[in-house]
Amino acid sequence: MSPRRYPIFCIGLLFISLVSGCTTLGDRIAVTLADAILNNNDLEMVEAGAPAYILLIDGLAQQEPKNASLALTSAQLYSAYGTAFTSTPERHVLLADKAFSFAKTGVCLKIEFICEVQKTPFKLFEAKIKRTKLTQIDEIYILGQTWVNWIQAHSDDWNAIADIAKVRVIMEQVVAINESHDGGGAHLYLGGLATLLPPSMGGQPERGRQHFERAIILSEGKNLLIKVTFAEQYARLMFNRALHDKLLNEVLSQPTSAPQLTLINTFAKKKAKKLLASADDYF
């Protein structure tokens, strides 16, 4: 496992698929704040202002420890902020741990047979995940998202790396239940997992490419982060300069604003510019 390549696709955690079924004031506040963050195109403002709102949601979640929706929204916000804006490994670990803890709590509250996920043997875990239904897709997807970020934060721990197999099972189940969930977000994660390594080391880049291409279709091309991840994970791995530049230039030419995607697309365009600027050195 290459420490350099491993974290790349994890920025997909910026997806925040808001949990449906808001029933309390805390739920409504959480969803409203998360929605405002996702529809903002000012990365610096979000970086500076989001911590106060995240602490608010954290406080609400602690006041309602049996509120699964609040726990899951807290998990997503901590995970997304930690992935996008933390500058030190230590802080990333701190926020990833918090996010994953909230996610495990929320999922266990909503789906009683999915608890103690890290301690559950793989075969039993796989069987339990395959029992989940469409009505439980939000919960398992959020668990998978935050788990990926937790693995990234602990990428020097081979026990954490071993959990990738469980994340893959989760995302494959999301695809099986409803592949269009979160605009094909599970395909993005599966594409990232398949392109972690070159073929000589067990990677499956062509399968990854299929997932990326499917994610683009399911998102109707509106989620620019998919093409950026496709370029960075697959095109660079395969030294395909033509595809790399094509994808990134498409990102820069497309609109930034889109419901629930404005912040993500702003980040994607910033990343695309950096990748294009470093392309001559890389290729």
Token representation of residue 107: 């999922």
Where on the phi/psi map is residue 140: left (φ > 0), alpha (ψ -120 to 50), or beta? Answer: alpha
Domain boundary among 151, 172, 193: 172
Alpha-carbon distance of 180 to 174, in angstroms, equals 9
Same domain for 5 and 106, yes or no, is: yes
Q: CA angle 164-91-147, nearest 5°?
A: 20
CB 142, CB 105: distance < 8 Å: no
Q: Return the pLDDT at 5.
A: 40
Alpha-carbon distance of 198 to 188, in angstroms, equals 18
Same domain for 33 and 166, yes or no, is: yes
Alpha-carbon distance of 189 to 215, in angstroms, equals 9
CB 167, CB 188: distance < 8 Å: no
Q: Return the pLDDT at 111.
A: 96
CB 67, CB 24: distance < 8 Å: yes
Token representation of residue 54: 């995240």
Pick from 86, 117, 113: nearest CA to 101: 117
Question: Which residue bears the tokens 């994953």?
Answer: 100
Same domain for 19 and 152, yes or no, is: yes
Domain boundary among 116, 146, 172: 172
Q: Return the pLDDT at 196.
A: 83
Same domain for 103 and 211, yes or no, is: no
Same domain for 31 and 139, yes or no, is: yes
Pick from 229, 230, 225: nearest CA to 261: 225
Same domain for 227 and 158, yes or no, is: no
Q: Total structural domains in the chain?
A: 2
Same domain for 137 and 208, yes or no, is: no
Q: Return the pLDDT at 23.
A: 58
Same domain for 82 and 168, yes or no, is: yes
CB 175, CB 188: distance < 8 Å: no
Alpha-carbon distance of 207 to 192, in angstroms, equals 10
Note down the domain range covering 146.
1-172
Q: Return the pLDDT at 63.
A: 85
**What is the pLDDT tens value at each position of the chain, 283 positions in all?**
433 344 444 444 444 444 444 556 666 776 677 777 777 778 788 888 888 888 888 888 888 889 898 899 889 888 888 877 877 889 989 999 999 999 999 999 999 999 999 999 999 999 999 999 999 999 999 999 999 989 988 988 888 889 999 999 999 999 999 999 999 999 999 999 899 888 888 889 999 999 999 999 999 999 999 999 999 999 999 999 999 999 999 999 999 988 878 888 998 999 999 999 999 999 9
Q: What is the CATH number of the domain that holds 63?
A: 1.25.40.920
Domain boundary among 107, 142, 172: 172
The SS3 assignment for 197 reads coil
Same domain for 34 and 164, yes or no, is: yes
